[in-house]
Amino acid sequence: MESTPRTDPTLTNEGAQAPTTSSVTRDPTFLRYTLTEAQAYLRNRTNATPPTSTTDSDPRPAYNPALYAHILHRHISSGGQLGTLLDVGCGPGGIARDLARLTPKLADSEGGWKEVWGIDGSSAMTGVAKRVRWKTANGGDIKWACLGAEDLDQLIIDHGVKEGSVDLIVVGMAAHWFDMPLFWEHTARLLRPGGTVALFTRGGLYCHPTTPSATQVQAHLTHLEETLLAPYRLYGNTLSSNLYRDLPLPHRSPNLTSPSCDIDGFDADATTLETWDKDGIIDSGREDFFSTVADDGWTTLSGLKAHLGSASMVTRYRAANPRLARTEQDYVESTMRRIRETLNDASGSEDAEVWLRVGAATALVTVKRSAT
Please give the pLDDT value at position 1.
29
Contact yes or no for 171/90 (Cβ under 8 A): no
With a CB cutoff of 8 Å and minimum separation 6, the contacts of 77 are: none
Share of the chain above pLDDT 70, in %: 87
Structure letter (DSSP) for residue 115: E
Structure letter (DSSP) for residue 133: T
d(Cα 306, Cα 41) in Å, to the nearest integer?
9
Please give the pLDDT value at position 135.
87
Give me the sign of the Cα torsion angle 152, 156, 160, 162.
Answer: positive
Of 220 and 37, more confident: 220
**Has residue 2 got a pLDDT over 50?**
no
- For 6-90, list the strands marked E by DSSP: 84-88
Q: Which pLDDT band holds residue 133 (cuts at 50, 70, 90)? A: confident
Q: Which residues pair with 85 in a beta bridge?
A: 116, 168
Give tens-digit pLDDT for 50-91. Answer: 444 444 345 688 999 999 999 999 999 999 999 999 999 999
**Has residue 193 got a pLDDT over 60?**
yes
- Mean pLDDT on 35-52: 68
Indicate the residue type of 272: T
Mean of all residue pLDDT scores within the chain: 87
Cα angle 66, 69, 75; round to 5: 145
Q: Which of 80, 73, 70 is nearest to 371 (CA)?
A: 80
Name the least confident of 72-76, 152-156, 277-281, 299-303: 299-303
User: 297-319 burial by CB neighbour count: b if 16+ within 10 A, else e?
Assistant: bebebebbbbbbbbbbbbbbbbe
Q: Which of 370, 125, 138 is nearest to 263 (CA)?
A: 370
Give tens-digit pLDDT for 229-280. Answer: 999 999 999 999 999 999 999 999 888 999 999 999 999 999 999 999 999 9
The SS3 of residue 199 is strand
Please give the pLDDT value at position 5.
29
The SS3 of residue 217 is helix
- Mean pLDDT on 275-289: 96
Cα torsion through 46, 143, 87, 49, rounded to 10: 10
d(Cα 227, Cα 318) in Å, to the nearest integer?
16
Angle, to 10 degrees, between the axis of helix 214-223 and the axis of helix 331-347? 180
Q: Which pLDDT band holds residue 16 (cuts at 50, 70, 90)? A: low
d(Cα 12, Cα 3) in Å, to the nearest integer?
17
Give tens-digit pLDDT for 318-329. Answer: 999 999 999 999
With a CB cutoff of 8 Å and minimum separation 6, the contacts of 172 are: 62, 63, 87, 89, 95, 200, 201
Q: Which of 304, 329, 293, 333 is nearest to 211 (CA)?
A: 304
Please state whether beta strands 191-207 and 166-172 pair in parallel, antiparallel, or not at all (unpaired): parallel
pTM above 0.85, yes or no: yes
Q: Which pLDDT band holds residue 181 (cuts at 50, 70, 90)? A: very high
- For 105-233, list the strands marked E by DSSP: 115-120, 143-146, 166-172, 191-207
350 C-beta neighbours (distance < 10 Å), count: 10
Please give the pLDDT value at position 297.
86
Length of the chain: 372
With a CB cutoff of 8 Å and minimum separation 6, the contacts of 290 are: 64, 66, 67, 276, 277, 283, 359, 362
Give tens-digit pLDDT for 339-367. Answer: 999 998 876 666 668 899 999 999 999 99
